[in-house]
Amino acid sequence: MSGRINLVLTAALVLCALSLVNAQYQARRLFIELERAQAAAKQLDIEWAQLQLDQSTLGKHARIEANARRDLKMMPVTPARTQYLTVGER
Amino acid sequence: MIRAGSRTAAAKGVPFSASPVLAVKLPVWRSRLVLFVLFSAFAALAGRALYLQGISTEFLQKQGESRYARTIELPATRGKIMDRNGHVLASSMPVKAIWAIPDDVLQAPADKLRELARLLDMDERDLRKKLDSDRNFVYLKRQVEQDIADKIVKLGIPGIQTRKEYKRFYPEGEVMAHVVGFTNVEDAGQEGMELAFQKSLAGVTGSRRVIKDRLGRIVEDIESVREPHDGKDLTLSIDSKIQYIAFTQLKEAIERYRAKAGGVVVLDARTGEILALANLPTYNPNNRAVLTGAQLRNRVLTDTFEPGSTMKPFPVAWALETKRVVPATTYQTAPGRMTIGSATIGDAHAHGLLTVSQIIQKSSNIGTAKIALQMPPQEMWELFTTVGFGQQPKLGFPGAVAGRVRPHKSWRPIEQATMSYGHGISVSLIQLARAYTIFARDGELIPLSFQKLDQAPAGQQVISAQTARQMRAMLETVVSPEGTAPKAQVPGYRVGGKTATAHKLAGGRYVNQYVSSFVGLAPMSDPRVIIAVMVDEPIGAHYGGEVAAPVFAAVAANVLRAMNVPPDSSVTDIIIPKDAVQESL
């Protein structure tokens, strides 16, 4: 009788031990994954800042004006050449 | 025979007690000795265990931890600076500092060192000189961009290390330099808003203790993480489009008149936000190899000058407010000279009989002095102080100056007279622009802000709305063909303002160098912006109406269009007379 109990308990112990090992392994694996995701987030953050910077550099008014004047041959509007429309007026 | 017999006996299962071995009598001390040795071995083990577990645990645990645990620094990024529309004006990007252990590096092959010098954009001789050092840590170059740093690491020179750091980039460059300022290599603010908001822009570095596995991957946190706190982003009140307009127009004027310096400030009349603040000469914050004090100076805020005629509207407004005069009250300004005490003041031209309105329009010194002398010095001083002259501006901007207004008790009549037209007191351009909010806002003075506001701050009523409206009407006549600044006219919009031309003081004497300025409002039907322009030492022309007023007109025209302000005038053709009224100096 006691031999059988011992057998069951031993089996349970082994199972518990194995599941502990497994849990620890899973935890570490997930942790590494989390780390990787966080690193990727950081990298994307940097990239975003870089893109914002690029947008500012390329969208500089000096550049826009130079391009508009030189390449597109545009001119600033003057009130004399502008038709103003008021909402609700006929 | 006996031996063989006994062996057979044992094999046959002779009872133990009958074993002949037992019959051998050994001395007692031998078993005692064995027992003693065994026990002392156990005692030694127990002692060792006690020593390891009890006494030197801490040391051992530390040693163990140092083999798998690492403290990682978590860097925090400095906050970005943005304009009111979210346009980035300053942003930090990760870069690398390259450092070396000189003795190790010098053993590298010569061609690798040459390649390193090329990548670092340095002369090979300079590089060797740097490495020829007794120290075991030498910075080769700081703030190296990531891709170049990667190439350097790829060279595989022993003793070359990199360290992560941040570099600040300023996409708007020289246009925005004086407002934004810059940081040093340690990412700490040195000038402008970078310095003023250093505390909130700078982040707080965090750290974490982790366990690393054999491949260097982090597997576990041992202690709770000290999170890094990135610096807060800062949204300025500046509109980069308006800033660009102001900067280019000022630059054009400075080049045309070969002026020494100049400044423009554009205020939102409704909220007190500073929409643009440009200074020349300027510098490129991305490349500060050669910097002079003149380039760094934020003239709008840190330079004071004798304003001249732009002061005239203040005593006149006060005379209107206290009912001493009405706009139609007349004053005799002929013959263009007036003696007060032992001194004589004068106008550029004798104007004859002028109304108060015309005194502003033609900028008559004598007329203004006559009006000012009707009031006690204390009242004038109080007005100047209330609108902010001689007071430290509450802007939080490093280096903003208070200017100088002498205490009224020491004013002699001649001084009160000259102060009424802006001599004998000194102000900064931003103070002047702010003081004009009382005309733009129906008598209310509001605080200025470098940060974007959600709602207008509370103002302080200085003069009545009626006086402010009367003053606006007068300021509008200044830009008419009969005024001192017809060149300040803007097609499609009603504008107004006041010109000033002041001799500069050098060594306590007035010299033939001038400061031309113009402070104006637009559009007059409901002022949205206040624009103040100052040009220092123009050559070829020096009248405010000639030098500064056109800058105002160009800036106002573009700014009103950029802000989508509907035109309030149908006049689109501007008449500029050949000989405009010259104002008094």
What pLDDT, in 10s, does the model give residues B477-500?
A: 988 888 888 888 888 889 999 999
Q: How far is Cα B307 from Cα B311, in angstroms, rounded to an integer?
A: 7
Using CB atoms, pick whichever of B91, B248, B561 lies closest to residue A49.
B91
Which residue in B82, B97, B215, B87 sits closest to B149, CA to CA? Answer: B97
Q: Is B309 a catalytic residue?
A: yes
CB atoms within 10 A of CB B459: 16
* B310: CATH: 3.40.710.10
> DSSP letter string over B102-165?
HHHHTTS-HHHHHHHHHHTT--HHHHHHHH--SSS-EEEEEEE-HHHHHHHHHH--TTEEEEEE
The H or E element that residue A17 is part of is helix A2-58
Can you read off the two tokens belonging to residue A86? Answer: 């008021």
Which residue in B303, B242, B301 sits closest to B275, CA to CA? Answer: B242
In chain A, the largest separation of any two C-alpha atoms, in whole Å, equals 108
The answer to whether A41 faces chain B, any CB pair under 8 Å, is no
Average pLDDT over residues B418-447: 90
Using CB atoms, pick whichever of A35, A57, A62 lies closest to residue B175.
A62
The H or E element that residue B199 is part of is helix B198-201
> What is the average pLDDT score of chain B?
85
Q: How far is Cα B64 from Cα B18, in angstroms, rounded to an integer?
A: 59
Give strand pairing partners of B169: B91
Q: Confidence class of residue B527 from pLDDT cuts 50, 70 and 90?
A: very high
Is cis: bond before B523, omega within 30 of 0? yes
pLDDT value of position B137: 81
pLDDT value of position B422: 87
Can you read off the two tokens belonging to residue B328? Answer: 């139609």
Cβ neighbours of residue A16 closer than 8 Å, sequence gap 6 or more: none
The H or E element that residue B4 is part of is helix B2-11
3-state secondary structure B492-508: CECCEEEEEEEEEEECC
pLDDT above 90 coverage of chain B, percent: 21
Q: What ipTM, to 2 d.p.?
A: 0.76
Contact residues, chain B, for A60 at CB < 8 Å: 171-172, 244
Q: How far is Cα B169 from Cα B91, in angstroms, rounded to an integer?
A: 5
Q: Where in B254-329 does DSSP place strands (E)?
A: 261-268, 274-280
Average pLDDT over residues B379-384: 90
pLDDT value of position B5: 46
* B144: CATH: 3.90.1310.10
> Is the pLDDT score of B270 beyond 80?
yes
Average pLDDT over residues B172-179: 88
Are B342 and B435 within one domain?
Answer: yes
B572/A32 CB distance under 8 A: no
Q: Are B356 and B327 in contact (CB under 8 A)?
A: yes
| Active-site residue, from B237, B240, B309, B357 | B309
Q: How far is Cα B283 from Cα B297, in angstroms, rounded to an integer?
A: 10
In a domain, B479, yes or no: yes
Task: Report how far apart the first and last C-alpha atoms of chain B are (Å, whole number).
Answer: 149
Q: Confidence class of residue B248 from pLDDT cuts 50, 70 and 90?
A: very high
Contact residues, chain A, for B493 at CB < 8 Å: 79
Q: How far is Cα B360 from Cα B499, in angstroms, rounded to an integer?
A: 10
pLDDT value of position B438: 92
Are B169 and B274 within one domain?
Answer: no
In a domain, A24, yes or no: yes
A76: nearest CA partner in chain B: B558
> Is the pLDDT score of B14 beyond 80?
no
A/B interface, count of CB pairs below 8 Å: 70
> What is the average pLDDT score of chain A?
87
Write down the residue that tokens 């009969």 correspond to: B482
In a domain, B15, yes or no: no
B109/B192: higher pLDDT: B192
Q: Are B517 and B534 in contact (CB under 8 A)?
A: yes
A56/B171 CB distance under 8 A: yes
Q: Confidence class of residue B572 from pLDDT cuts 50, 70 and 90?
A: low
Q: How far is Cα B375 from Cα B397, in angstroms, rounded to an integer?
A: 35
What pLDDT, in 10s, does the model give residues B548-564?
A: 999 999 999 989 988 88
Are B205 and B267 within one domain?
Answer: no
3-state secondary structure B107-124: CCCHHHHHHHHHHCCCCH
| Phi/psi of residue A30, nearest 5 degrees | -65, -40
* Counted domains in chain A: 1
Which residue in B351, B286, B242 sits closest to B583, CA to CA? Answer: B351
What pLDDT, in 10s, does the model give residues B353-374?
A: 889 889 888 888 888 998 988 8
Q: Which of A56, A67, A85, A86 should we substitute to test contact with B (largest number of B Cβ atoms within 10 Å)?
A: A56
B20/B315: higher pLDDT: B315
Contact residues, chain B, for A86 at CB < 8 Å: 566
B219/A32 CB distance under 8 A: yes
| Last residue of one domain, picked from the residues B235, B264, B290 | B235
Are B292 and B404 within one domain?
Answer: yes
In a domain, A90, yes or no: no
Average pLDDT over residues B225-246: 89
Can you read off the two tokens belonging to residue B196? Answer: 């003023």
Are B511 and B381 within one domain?
Answer: yes
Cα Rg, chain B, nearest whole Å: 41
Average pLDDT over residues B290-312: 86
Are B209 and B259 within one domain?
Answer: no
Please give, rounded to a whole number of angstroms, the shortest distance from the CA of A4 to a CA of chain B. 37
Q: Confidence class of residue B582 from pLDDT cuts 50, 70 and 90?
A: low
Write down the residue that tokens 């909010």 correspond to: B437
Q: Which residues of B touch A (CB under 8 A)?
A: 77, 80, 87-89, 91-94, 169, 171-172, 175, 213, 217-220, 240-241, 244-245, 248, 491-493, 557-558, 561, 566-567, 572-573
Are B400 and B439 within one domain?
Answer: yes
What pLDDT, in 10s, does the model give residues B438-475?
A: 999 988 999 998 889 888 888 889 899 999 999 999 99
Q: Confidence class of residue B2 from pLDDT cuts 50, 70 and 90?
A: very low
Cβ neighbours of residue B143 closer than 8 Å, sequence gap 6 or more: B95, B97, B165, B167, B185
Question: Distance of alpha carbon B580 from its chain centroid, rounded?
Answer: 40
In a domain, B41, yes or no: no
Are B186 and B253 within one domain?
Answer: no
B566/A80 CB distance under 8 A: no
Cβ neighbours of residue B221 closer than 8 Å, sequence gap 6 or more: B208, B209, B210, B211
In a domain, B175, yes or no: yes
In a domain, B23, yes or no: no
Are B277 and B348 within one domain?
Answer: yes
A35/B493 CB distance under 8 A: no
pLDDT value of position B433: 92
Is cis: bond before B377, omega within 30 of 0? no
Q: How far is Cα B345 from Cα B352, in angstroms, rounded to an integer?
A: 15
Can you read off the two tokens belonging to residue A69? Answer: 């004047």
* Counted domains in chain B: 2
Average pLDDT over residues B264-280: 91
B218/A76 CB distance under 8 A: no
The H or E element that residue B345 is part of is strand B343-346
Q: Are B165 and B143 in contact (CB under 8 A)?
A: yes
Q: How far is Cα B243 from Cα B256, in angstroms, rounded to an integer?
A: 20
Are B363 and B437 within one domain?
Answer: yes
**Structural domain harbouring B482:** 240-562
Are B289 and B230 within one domain?
Answer: no
> Is the pLDDT score of B203 beyond 60?
yes
Average pLDDT over residues B34-45: 96
Give strand pairing partners of B144: B96
Using CB atoms, pick whichever of A45, A46, A60 lies closest to residue B171.
A60
In a domain, A7, yes or no: yes
In terms of DSSP bridges, do strands B218-221 and B234-235 run parallel, antiparallel, or are they unpaired? unpaired
Is cis: bond before B307, omega within 30 of 0? no
Q: Are B355 and B329 in contact (CB under 8 A)?
A: yes
Q: Is B308 left (phi over 0), alpha (psi -120 to 50) or beta?
A: left
**Structural domain harbouring A64:** 2-77
In a domain, B539, yes or no: yes
B169/A59 CB distance under 8 A: no
- Low pLDDT (below 50) residues in chain A: none
Which residue in B496, B533, B554 sits closest to A76, CA to CA? Answer: B554
Which residue in B22, B463, B539, B37 sits closest to B258, CA to CA? Answer: B539
CB atoms within 10 A of CB B390: 19
A33/B158: higher pLDDT: A33
Are B272 and B229 within one domain?
Answer: no
Q: Confidence class of residue B20 from pLDDT cuts 50, 70 and 90?
A: confident
